[in-house]
Chains A and B, each alone.
Chain A
Amino acid sequence: MTVIHMRIDNRLIHGQVTVSWVNSMAANHMIVCNDKVAVDPIQKIMLPQAARGVRTSVLSIKDTLQYCASPEGQPEQILLIAKFPADGLALLEGGLQPKEINVGNQAPIGGTQFKMVTNTIAVTADDAAKYRAIAEKGYRLTYKMMPSDSAGDFLQLLAKKGF
Protein backbone atom coordinates (compact mmCIF):
# COMPACT_ATOMS: atom_id res chain seq x y z
CA MET A 1 0.00 0.00 0.00
CA THR A 2 1.77 3.13 -1.19
CA VAL A 3 -0.54 5.89 -0.05
CA ILE A 4 0.07 5.96 3.65
CA HIS A 5 -2.09 9.02 4.22
CA MET A 6 -4.66 10.95 2.24
CA ARG A 7 -5.27 14.50 3.33
CA ILE A 8 -8.20 16.55 2.04
CA ASP A 9 -6.99 20.15 2.02
CA ASN A 10 -7.83 22.91 -0.42
CA ARG A 11 -4.83 24.94 0.70
CA LEU A 12 -2.74 22.07 -0.77
CA ILE A 13 0.83 22.43 0.49
CA HIS A 14 1.49 24.71 3.41
CA GLY A 15 3.62 24.86 6.55
CA GLN A 16 1.53 22.52 8.68
CA VAL A 17 1.65 19.86 6.01
CA THR A 18 5.30 20.04 5.12
CA VAL A 19 6.68 20.49 8.59
CA SER A 20 4.45 18.31 10.74
CA TRP A 21 2.69 15.79 8.59
CA VAL A 22 5.47 14.75 6.24
CA ASN A 23 7.81 14.08 9.18
CA SER A 24 5.24 12.32 11.26
CA MET A 25 4.26 10.04 8.36
CA ALA A 26 7.86 9.55 7.19
CA ALA A 27 6.57 10.23 3.70
CA ASN A 28 9.11 10.41 0.90
CA HIS A 29 6.79 11.65 -1.81
CA MET A 30 3.90 14.13 -1.76
CA ILE A 31 1.31 14.00 -4.51
CA VAL A 32 -1.09 16.90 -4.94
CA CYS A 33 -4.17 15.63 -6.76
CA ASN A 34 -6.71 17.74 -8.61
CA ASP A 35 -7.44 17.96 -12.35
CA LYS A 36 -7.37 21.77 -12.54
CA VAL A 37 -4.24 22.25 -10.47
CA ALA A 38 -2.48 19.59 -12.54
CA VAL A 39 -2.72 21.81 -15.62
CA ASP A 40 -1.88 25.10 -13.89
CA PRO A 41 1.68 25.99 -14.97
CA ILE A 42 2.25 28.29 -11.98
CA GLN A 43 1.14 25.77 -9.39
CA LYS A 44 3.23 23.05 -11.01
CA ILE A 45 6.30 25.19 -10.30
CA MET A 46 5.31 26.74 -6.98
CA LEU A 47 3.91 23.73 -5.13
CA PRO A 48 7.08 21.64 -5.19
CA GLN A 49 9.00 24.74 -4.02
CA ALA A 50 6.74 24.92 -1.00
CA ALA A 51 7.55 21.34 -0.14
CA ARG A 52 10.88 22.04 1.61
CA GLY A 53 12.89 19.31 -0.04
CA VAL A 54 10.28 16.53 -0.16
CA ARG A 55 9.75 15.17 -3.67
CA THR A 56 6.43 16.56 -4.88
CA SER A 57 4.26 15.77 -7.89
CA VAL A 58 1.16 17.62 -9.05
CA LEU A 59 -1.11 15.20 -10.89
CA SER A 60 -4.60 14.73 -12.27
CA ILE A 61 -6.84 12.08 -10.74
CA LYS A 62 -6.17 9.70 -13.61
CA ASP A 63 -2.40 10.19 -13.45
CA THR A 64 -2.42 9.80 -9.66
CA LEU A 65 -4.20 6.48 -9.92
CA GLN A 66 -1.81 5.32 -12.63
CA TYR A 67 1.27 6.41 -10.69
CA CYS A 68 0.27 4.84 -7.38
CA ALA A 69 -0.32 1.52 -9.10
CA SER A 70 2.90 1.65 -11.09
CA PRO A 71 6.13 -0.18 -10.20
CA GLU A 72 7.70 3.24 -9.58
CA GLY A 73 5.03 4.33 -7.12
CA GLN A 74 4.51 1.05 -5.26
CA PRO A 75 7.58 1.09 -2.98
CA GLU A 76 7.15 4.75 -1.96
CA GLN A 77 5.59 6.22 1.17
CA ILE A 78 3.15 8.63 -0.43
CA LEU A 79 1.37 11.47 1.33
CA LEU A 80 -1.49 12.32 -0.97
CA ILE A 81 -3.19 15.70 -0.85
CA ALA A 82 -6.62 15.75 -2.47
CA LYS A 83 -7.85 19.29 -2.98
CA PHE A 84 -11.57 18.62 -2.48
CA PRO A 85 -13.64 15.76 -1.04
CA ALA A 86 -14.78 15.11 -4.64
CA ASP A 87 -11.15 14.41 -5.57
CA GLY A 88 -10.73 12.07 -2.61
CA LEU A 89 -13.88 10.18 -3.55
CA ALA A 90 -12.89 9.92 -7.21
CA LEU A 91 -9.55 8.41 -6.18
CA LEU A 92 -11.23 5.83 -3.98
CA GLU A 93 -13.68 5.00 -6.76
CA GLY A 94 -10.66 4.57 -9.02
CA GLY A 95 -9.33 1.90 -6.69
CA LEU A 96 -6.90 3.85 -4.52
CA GLN A 97 -6.62 2.45 -1.01
CA PRO A 98 -4.93 4.94 1.31
CA LYS A 99 -4.20 3.68 4.79
CA GLU A 100 -6.05 6.55 6.41
CA ILE A 101 -7.92 9.71 5.42
CA ASN A 102 -7.85 13.00 7.29
CA VAL A 103 -9.72 16.21 6.55
CA GLY A 104 -7.31 19.12 6.89
CA ASN A 105 -8.48 22.55 5.72
CA GLN A 106 -11.40 23.44 3.52
CA ALA A 107 -11.61 27.17 3.09
CA PRO A 108 -15.15 28.29 2.34
CA ILE A 109 -15.99 29.10 -1.26
CA GLY A 110 -17.87 32.36 -1.66
CA GLY A 111 -21.36 31.93 -3.09
CA THR A 112 -21.84 28.40 -1.77
CA GLN A 113 -24.15 27.41 1.10
CA PHE A 114 -21.45 26.38 3.54
CA LYS A 115 -21.24 25.94 7.28
CA MET A 116 -17.95 26.06 9.21
CA VAL A 117 -17.80 22.77 11.12
CA THR A 118 -14.46 23.72 12.66
CA ASN A 119 -12.71 27.05 12.30
CA THR A 120 -10.83 25.79 9.25
CA ILE A 121 -13.26 23.35 7.63
CA ALA A 122 -16.21 24.57 5.57
CA VAL A 123 -18.83 22.02 4.46
CA THR A 124 -21.74 22.26 2.00
CA ALA A 125 -24.51 19.69 1.73
CA ASP A 126 -22.81 18.31 -1.38
CA ASP A 127 -19.48 18.01 0.47
CA ALA A 128 -21.21 16.15 3.30
CA ALA A 129 -22.60 13.62 0.83
CA LYS A 130 -19.10 13.12 -0.58
CA TYR A 131 -17.61 12.62 2.88
CA ARG A 132 -20.30 10.07 3.68
CA ALA A 133 -19.58 8.24 0.43
CA ILE A 134 -15.88 8.18 1.36
CA ALA A 135 -16.67 6.74 4.78
CA GLU A 136 -18.92 4.12 3.18
CA LYS A 137 -15.83 2.76 1.45
CA GLY A 138 -14.66 1.64 4.86
CA TYR A 139 -12.82 4.67 6.26
CA ARG A 140 -13.07 6.38 9.61
CA LEU A 141 -12.52 9.97 8.50
CA THR A 142 -10.65 12.08 11.04
CA TYR A 143 -10.11 15.83 11.19
CA LYS A 144 -6.82 16.35 12.97
CA MET A 145 -5.03 19.64 12.47
CA MET A 146 -1.71 18.27 13.72
CA PRO A 147 -0.62 14.62 13.67
CA SER A 148 -0.45 14.58 17.46
CA ASP A 149 -4.09 15.69 17.91
CA SER A 150 -6.64 13.14 19.09
CA ALA A 151 -8.46 11.53 16.17
CA GLY A 152 -11.96 13.01 16.15
CA ASP A 153 -14.54 11.28 13.96
CA PHE A 154 -15.48 13.62 11.13
CA LEU A 155 -18.86 12.08 10.32
CA GLN A 156 -19.89 12.39 13.95
CA LEU A 157 -18.91 16.06 13.78
CA LEU A 158 -20.95 16.54 10.59
CA ALA A 159 -23.98 14.98 12.25
CA LYS A 160 -23.55 17.27 15.26
CA LYS A 161 -23.44 20.27 12.94
CA GLY A 162 -26.64 19.33 11.18
CA PHE A 163 -25.34 17.56 8.07
Chain B
Amino acid sequence: MADQAPVGLVLASHATLAQGLRAAAEMIAGPQEHLAVVPLGPAENLDEYRAKLEAAAREVDTGRGVLVLVDLFGGSPGNTAAYLVSDQVEVVGGASLPMLLEVLMARAAASPDELAVLAARAGREATIRFKEIL
Protein backbone atom coordinates (compact mmCIF):
# COMPACT_ATOMS: atom_id res chain seq x y z
CA MET B 1 0.00 0.00 0.00
CA ALA B 2 1.44 3.39 -0.92
CA ASP B 3 2.19 5.71 1.95
CA GLN B 4 -0.30 8.47 2.48
CA ALA B 5 0.22 11.69 4.39
CA PRO B 6 0.95 10.67 7.98
CA VAL B 7 -1.53 10.91 10.83
CA GLY B 8 -0.66 14.04 12.82
CA LEU B 9 0.91 13.57 16.24
CA VAL B 10 0.64 15.65 19.39
CA LEU B 11 2.77 14.88 22.46
CA ALA B 12 1.29 16.28 25.69
CA SER B 13 2.85 16.09 29.14
CA HIS B 14 3.66 17.62 32.47
CA ALA B 15 6.84 19.66 32.35
CA THR B 16 9.31 18.81 29.57
CA LEU B 17 8.64 15.11 29.13
CA ALA B 18 7.00 15.71 25.76
CA GLN B 19 10.03 17.64 24.47
CA GLY B 20 12.25 14.88 25.83
CA LEU B 21 10.25 12.19 24.04
CA ARG B 22 10.51 14.10 20.80
CA ALA B 23 14.25 14.64 21.17
CA ALA B 24 14.87 10.98 21.97
CA ALA B 25 12.68 9.76 19.10
CA GLU B 26 14.39 12.08 16.62
CA MET B 27 17.79 10.87 17.78
CA ILE B 28 16.68 7.40 16.76
CA ALA B 29 14.31 8.03 13.86
CA GLY B 30 15.43 11.37 12.47
CA PRO B 31 13.59 14.71 12.33
CA GLN B 32 9.81 14.40 12.35
CA GLU B 33 7.13 16.54 10.72
CA HIS B 34 3.47 16.92 11.65
CA LEU B 35 4.47 16.47 15.27
CA ALA B 36 3.69 19.05 17.95
CA VAL B 37 4.79 19.18 21.57
CA VAL B 38 2.47 20.75 24.16
CA PRO B 39 3.97 20.85 27.67
CA LEU B 40 1.96 21.87 30.75
CA GLY B 41 3.83 24.32 32.99
CA PRO B 42 3.42 24.41 36.78
CA ALA B 43 1.13 27.44 37.03
CA GLU B 44 -0.61 27.04 33.71
CA ASN B 45 -4.34 27.58 33.33
CA LEU B 46 -6.11 24.48 31.99
CA ASP B 47 -8.51 26.37 29.75
CA GLU B 48 -5.52 27.95 28.03
CA TYR B 49 -3.79 24.57 27.88
CA ARG B 50 -6.83 23.09 26.19
CA ALA B 51 -6.75 25.86 23.59
CA LYS B 52 -3.05 25.11 22.96
CA LEU B 53 -3.76 21.39 22.55
CA GLU B 54 -6.60 22.06 20.12
CA ALA B 55 -4.44 24.46 18.11
CA ALA B 56 -1.62 21.92 17.99
CA ALA B 57 -3.99 19.19 16.77
CA ARG B 58 -5.24 21.46 13.98
CA GLU B 59 -1.67 22.39 13.06
CA VAL B 60 -0.43 18.80 12.63
CA ASP B 61 -3.53 17.44 10.89
CA THR B 62 -2.75 16.63 7.25
CA GLY B 63 -6.38 15.65 6.68
CA ARG B 64 -5.93 12.12 7.98
CA GLY B 65 -6.68 12.86 11.63
CA VAL B 66 -4.57 13.11 14.75
CA LEU B 67 -3.23 10.90 17.54
CA VAL B 68 -2.46 12.58 20.87
CA LEU B 69 0.00 10.77 23.13
CA VAL B 70 -0.23 12.05 26.69
CA ASP B 71 2.03 11.12 29.59
CA LEU B 72 -0.52 10.18 32.24
CA PHE B 73 -4.17 9.22 31.98
CA GLY B 74 -5.86 11.24 34.71
CA GLY B 75 -3.21 13.92 35.05
CA SER B 76 -4.08 17.46 34.05
CA PRO B 77 -2.72 17.13 30.49
CA GLY B 78 -4.63 13.84 30.10
CA ASN B 79 -7.84 15.28 31.56
CA THR B 80 -7.60 18.13 29.09
CA ALA B 81 -6.74 15.87 26.13
CA ALA B 82 -9.98 13.97 26.84
CA TYR B 83 -11.91 16.90 25.35
CA LEU B 84 -10.21 16.36 21.97
CA VAL B 85 -11.45 12.79 21.44
CA SER B 86 -13.60 12.71 18.30
CA ASP B 87 -14.02 10.89 14.98
CA GLN B 88 -10.77 12.42 13.82
CA VAL B 89 -8.76 12.50 17.05
CA GLU B 90 -7.58 9.60 19.20
CA VAL B 91 -5.85 9.99 22.57
CA VAL B 92 -3.62 7.43 24.29
CA GLY B 93 -2.19 7.84 27.80
CA GLY B 94 1.01 6.33 29.19
CA ALA B 95 3.12 7.90 26.43
CA SER B 96 6.58 6.37 26.24
CA LEU B 97 9.49 6.26 23.83
CA PRO B 98 8.75 2.70 22.66
CA MET B 99 5.15 3.71 22.01
CA LEU B 100 6.18 6.82 20.12
CA LEU B 101 8.65 4.94 17.93
CA GLU B 102 6.03 2.35 16.94
CA VAL B 103 3.60 5.12 16.07
CA LEU B 104 6.16 7.03 14.00
CA MET B 105 6.85 3.94 11.93
CA ALA B 106 3.18 3.13 11.32
CA ARG B 107 1.52 6.49 10.91
CA ALA B 108 1.79 6.85 7.16
CA ALA B 109 -0.13 3.63 6.60
CA ALA B 110 -2.60 3.51 9.46
CA SER B 111 -5.72 5.41 10.50
CA PRO B 112 -5.85 7.23 13.85
CA ASP B 113 -7.85 4.44 15.49
CA GLU B 114 -5.51 1.73 14.19
CA LEU B 115 -2.56 3.77 15.46
CA ALA B 116 -4.19 4.19 18.86
CA VAL B 117 -4.67 0.44 19.24
CA LEU B 118 -1.08 -0.15 18.12
CA ALA B 119 0.23 2.52 20.49
CA ALA B 120 -1.53 0.99 23.49
CA ARG B 121 -0.20 -2.46 22.66
CA ALA B 122 3.31 -1.20 21.97
CA GLY B 123 3.43 0.65 25.27
CA ARG B 124 2.41 -2.44 27.21
CA GLU B 125 4.66 -4.87 25.34
CA ALA B 126 7.71 -2.65 25.67
CA THR B 127 7.82 -2.96 29.44
CA ILE B 128 10.45 -5.65 29.92
CA ARG B 129 12.24 -6.87 32.99
CA PHE B 130 15.79 -7.60 31.81
CA LYS B 131 16.22 -10.61 34.07
CA GLU B 132 13.47 -12.36 32.15
CA ILE B 133 15.62 -12.17 29.00
CA LEU B 134 19.23 -12.34 30.20
The residue in chain B whose Cβ has the minimal distance to the Cβ of A116 is B43
Residue A47 is within 8 A (CB to CB) of chain B in the complex: yes
The residue in chain A whose Cβ has the minimal distance to the Cβ of B93 is A49
Chain A, 106-138, contact with B by CB distance < 8 Å: what is the 0/1 string? Answer: 011110000010011010000000000000000
Distance in angstroms between the alpha carbons of A110 and B82 in the assembled complex? 22
With a CB–CB cut-off of 8 A, which chain B residues contact A50?
A: 73-75, 78-79
Asked if residues A120 and B73 are in contact (CB atoms below 8 Å), the reply is no
Residue A161 is within 8 A (CB to CB) of chain B in the complex: no
Shortest Cβ distance from residue B23 to the other chain A in the assembled complex, whole angstroms: 24
Number of A-B contacts (CB under 8 A): 45
With a CB–CB cut-off of 8 A, which chain A residues contact B72?
A: 15
B46, B48, B83: the one within 8 Å of A11 (CB)? B46
Chain B, 69-100, contact with A by CB distance < 8 Å: what is the 0/1 string? Answer: 00011111011001100000000000000000
Asked if residues B79 and A105 are in contact (CB atoms below 8 Å), the reply is no
Most buried by A among B72, B76, B83: B76
Shortest Cβ distance from residue A9 to the other chain B in the assembled complex, whole angstroms: 11
Asked if residues A108 and B82 are in contact (CB atoms below 8 Å), the reply is no
A49 and B73 in contact (CB under 8 A), knowing A42-B82, A43-B79? Answer: yes
Asked if residues B79 and A46 are in contact (CB atoms below 8 Å), the reply is yes
Distance in angstroms between the alpha carbons of A51 and B78 in the assembled complex? 13
Asked if residues B45 and A109 are in contact (CB atoms below 8 Å), the reply is yes
Chain A positions 32-75 with a Cβ under 8 Å from a chain B Cβ: 42-43, 45-47, 49-52
With a CB–CB cut-off of 8 A, which chain A residues contact B79?
A: 12, 43, 46-47, 50
Residue B125 is within 8 A (CB to CB) of chain A in the complex: no
Residue A99 is within 8 A (CB to CB) of chain B in the complex: no
Asked if residues B45 and A110 are in contact (CB atoms below 8 Å), the reply is yes
Distance in angstroms between the alpha carbons of A43 and B54 in the assembled complex? 17
Name 26 A/B residue pairs within 8 A (Cβ), A-sorted.
Answer: A11-B46, A12-B79, A13-B74, A14-B75, A15-B72, A15-B75, A42-B83, A43-B79, A45-B82, A46-B82, A49-B73, A50-B73, A50-B74, A50-B79, A51-B74, A107-B43, A107-B44, A107-B45, A107-B46, A108-B43, A109-B45, A110-B47, A119-B42, A119-B43, A120-B42, A122-B43
Which residues of B are at the interface with A, using a C-beta cutoff of 8 A?
42-48, 72-76, 78-79, 82-83
